[in-house]
Amino acid sequence: MFRVFNCLTVEHDWRLVLLAVLICFLTSLAAINLFHRARAASGRVQLAWLATAGITTGCGIWATHFIAMLAYEPGIPVAYNVGLTALSLLAAAAVTSIGFAVSLAMPGLWAALVGGVVVGAGVGAMHYTGMWALEVPGRVAWDLPLVMSSVGLGMVFGAAALASAVRSDEIRTTLVAALLLTLAIVSHHFTAMGAVEILPDPTRVIDAFSLSPTALALAIANAAVAVLGMSLAGAFADRRLRQKDAQLTTALNNMAQGLLMFDPQKRLILYNSRYVDMYGLSPHVVKPGCTIEDLLRHHKEVGTLSEDVEQYCATLDAAIAEGKTTSTMESSANGRTIHTVSRPMADGGWVTTHEDVTDRISAQRERDRNRDLLNLIVENVPVTIFVKKASDRRFILVNRACENEWGLSRSEILGRTASDIFPPGAADEINDGDERLLKYSAPLYLDEHAIEMPRKGVRFVTSKRFVVRSTDYANQYLVGVVEDVTERKLSEERLRQAQKMETIGNLTGGLAHDFNNLLT
């Protein structure tokens, strides 16, 4: 530790050290922002953001290292091998890109920790490749324990940085992650520099084609400009994305359905406020990056999921893997009924919609009750009711009274016409009435008249027929209401006969009385 402190205080220019730390923090901040962009994307777009984040981080590590090397004052001339210096930049960009990709390869904290360790390894790869490029008139000796410590510090702080970055993309979390990534780079560099000891050796000379400190400063400036350019490009892209996100969020939050979108790693990448409000969930749990298991456990906590979490996930995983859409109906603790539909996407993720169908089901049940009541009334009303299609005059509905009065079962009536059921004369009469009804569109009322029934002979009926039209006023159905008045007519006839006989009897009695009076 004393060697590290002595290296910082005696062998470095503090002004350049502070500049190196500032450059490191700014590039780390840009890298974490780009990492968040990658985390919110998928497919090729995600790969592009990951590469950009890796290059930005690599340039930041490289610039920090060589600015700090400009601050390094070993007391002897120094230069840098061109090829190895360039290789150190490539190593930093490549390894850190891999680290960022690993952290997004799987859901959960462990992937972020492993990815952070890889990023720390990238810091080490850049540093020691860069130190390999160092050319001095002497030999470089290393303190192995400090070398191991430097690598360990880079990995520990790198893991902490990505573990923080995957939690959320809020400003505070982003700043913490950027600070931890800065610590990973800076702590590694200065611990590693404390492990360096240069032993003068006049037999070693600096290559004429090596980079001088002045040329190195120019290269660093170019790297800084590259980082700035990528940061600005990321900022402009982020601004456009935020505008689109705002529009998308407005649209999503005005949906009647709750919506969730998951990536192939089962992490939430998109949701709307309707989903949160529908179940009364916590926004601290429902946020991009949380897994389906996290959401379902939270549902369990608030009492909106009755099924076992593992079983639910297994069923969903199997359906998504097979490219099948799943549909479930859940009753929540507050008595609401939610219809959930999960549809797979081409990249292996899926979209789930949650629709509160309580009112719809209630309305449907009310319609069913009304329909059943109407059917009950129609079925039990003591007059014949039938419905025919206007297009072909085939019966499509009859009630029980119709069966009784016509002497036919329902199966013998439905799907047939009057010509198929009634005797020719009666069928012609019915068909003529239908023609008049369709032609003039006015209800057709027929007072008491005789008609020959299919199996019950001639009956006396009264009837009323009318047309039901569609919304475009086309004739759709013919409805008939027929009352059999035969018994009433027979009763009236018997009553008339009785009255007639009574009248005749009275008349006969009167005549006999008058005749008797004449005889006397």
Q: How confident is the model at residue 377 (pLDDT cuts 50, 70, 90)?
A: very high
14-37 pLDDT tens trace:
677 777 788 888 888 888 888 888
Question: For the residues 508-515, what does the mean pLDDT come to?
Answer: 59
Question: For the residues 309-337, what does the mean pLDDT come to?
Answer: 84
Other CB atoms within 10 Å distance of the CB of residue 163 = 19
Poorest-pLDDT segment among 167-176, 278-287, 487-496:
487-496
Go through 87-125 and write b for each residue having 16 or more CB atoms within 10 A of its CB, e for each that does not.
bbbebbbbbbbbbbbbbbeebeeebbbbbbbbbbbbbbb
Rounded Cα gap, residues 273 and 251, in angstroms: 11
pLDDT over threshold 80, residue 508: no
Give the pLDDT score at 370. Answer: 92
pLDDT over threshold 50, residue 2: no
Question: For the residues 83-98, what does the mean pLDDT come to?
Answer: 86
Q: Comparing C-alpha atoms, which of 61, 155, 59, 139 is closest to residue 99?
A: 155
Q: How confident is the model at residue 407 (pLDDT cuts 50, 70, 90)?
A: very high
Rounded Cα gap, residues 262 and 316, in angstroms: 12
pLDDT over threshold 90, residue 383: yes
- Assessment of whether the complete model's pTM goes beyond 0.85: no
Q: What is the mean pLDDT of the chain?
A: 82
Q: Both tokens of residue 251? A: 């649209």
Give percent of the chain with pLDDT exceeding 90: 23
Q: Comparing C-alpha atoms, which of 456, 457, 477 is closest to residue 468?
A: 477
Question: For the residues 203-225, what does the mean pLDDT come to?
Answer: 59
Length of the chain: 520
Rounded Cα gap, residues 38 and 45, in angstroms: 7
- One-letter amino acid of 117: V
Q: Look at 479 and 227; give whichever has higher pLDDT.
A: 479
Q: Look at 71 and 310; give whichever has higher pLDDT.
A: 310
Q: Both tokens of residue 256? A: 């009647």
Domain ranges of the chain: 2-243, 255-360, 381-484, 492-520
pLDDT over threshold 50, residue 493: yes
Q: Comparing C-alpha atoms, which of 180, 186, 188, 187 is closest to residue 159?
A: 180
Same CATH topology for 255-360 and 381-484? yes
Pairing of strands 326-331, 268-271: unpaired
pLDDT over threshold 60, residue 157: yes
Q: How confident is the model at residue 337 (pLDDT cuts 50, 70, 90)?
A: confident
pLDDT over threshold 80, residue 169: no
User: With respect to CATH, is domain 381-484 assigned 3.30.450.20?
Assistant: yes
Q: What burial class does residue 130 get, using C-beta atoms within 10 Å of its C-beta: 0-12 exposed, 13-18 middle, 19+ buried?
A: buried
Q: Both tokens of residue 72? A: 């390094």
Give the pLDDT score at 420. Answer: 94
Q: Both tokens of residue 306? A: 């009755």
- Binning the chain into helix, strand and coil, the percentages to the nearest 5 are 60, 15, 20
Give the pLDDT score at 249. Answer: 77
Using the Cα atoms of residue 49, residue 54, residue 55 and residue 61 in order, give the sign of their dihedral: positive
Question: For the residues 432-440, what does the mean pLDDT come to?
Answer: 88
Poorest-pLDDT segment among 113-122, 387-396, 482-491:
482-491
Q: Comparing C-alpha atoms, which of 71, 211, 58, 77 is closest to residue 127?
A: 58
Q: How confident is the model at residue 501 (pLDDT cuts 50, 70, 90)?
A: low
Give the pLDDT score at 333. Answer: 67
Q: What burial class does residue 277 get, using C-beta atoms within 10 Å of its C-beta: 0-12 exposed, 13-18 middle, 19+ buried?
A: exposed
Give the pLDDT score at 430. Answer: 92
Q: Which CATH class is domain 255-360?
A: alpha beta
